[in-house]
Amino acid sequence: GPNEHQLPSVPVRKRVAIFLWKLATGIEYRTISHISGVGLSTVFNCVQDFCDSVIKVLLPQHITTPDAAKLVEIATFFHNRWRIPQCVGAIDGSHIPIIAPEEYPQDYFNRKGWHSIILQGVVDGRGLFWDVCVGYAGSVHDAQRECVMSAKAVTFMGATK
């Protein structure tokens, strides 16, 4: 992975354990630092490095934009299974609660009345993800988010007319 912070003193197994503990419990970095016996900044760097590695290594292997042939296959499945013609993806999003950032907290204040970032995903007719987009501020409206889906769907629809 990217390992920008270089944590050679922390074994890989322990770094993974720190990340999984954070992911599974949402517990504070300070508590994980105390439990694991490593410094607070080391815990933060372990979590950050693991996330960076997942994004760099695993995401491209498992979430890929379909090529033209795959889009036709997805559309055929949608039509045959769900009776929806010319559909290549079901899209939805969710607000992930966050603590308001110090800079521009109003940007993250969503229409539901709390601070969030937005997670948006696109699945094929079998429910398998082919696009994931995360990080937009909670106040950003659906129509303003520019993830892969908008451009690809238009291209696909245009090609099949």
pLDDT tens, position by position, 58-88: 999 989 999 999 999 999 999 999 999 999 9
Q: pLDDT at position 141, please?
A: 81
Length of the chain: 161
Q: pLDDT at position 9, please?
A: 87
Angle at the Cα of 94 from the Cα atoms of 92 and 98, rounded to 5 degrees: 160
Is residue 107 over pLDDT 70? Answer: yes
List b or e across 90-128, with b for residues whose CB sees 16 or more CB atoms inside 10 angstroms. Answer: ebebebeeeeeeeeeeeebbbeeeebbbbebbbbbbeee
**CA 27 to CA 116: how far, in whole Å?**
18
Domain boundaries, the chain: 12-61, 63-158
**CA 103 to CA 62: how far, in whole Å?**
34
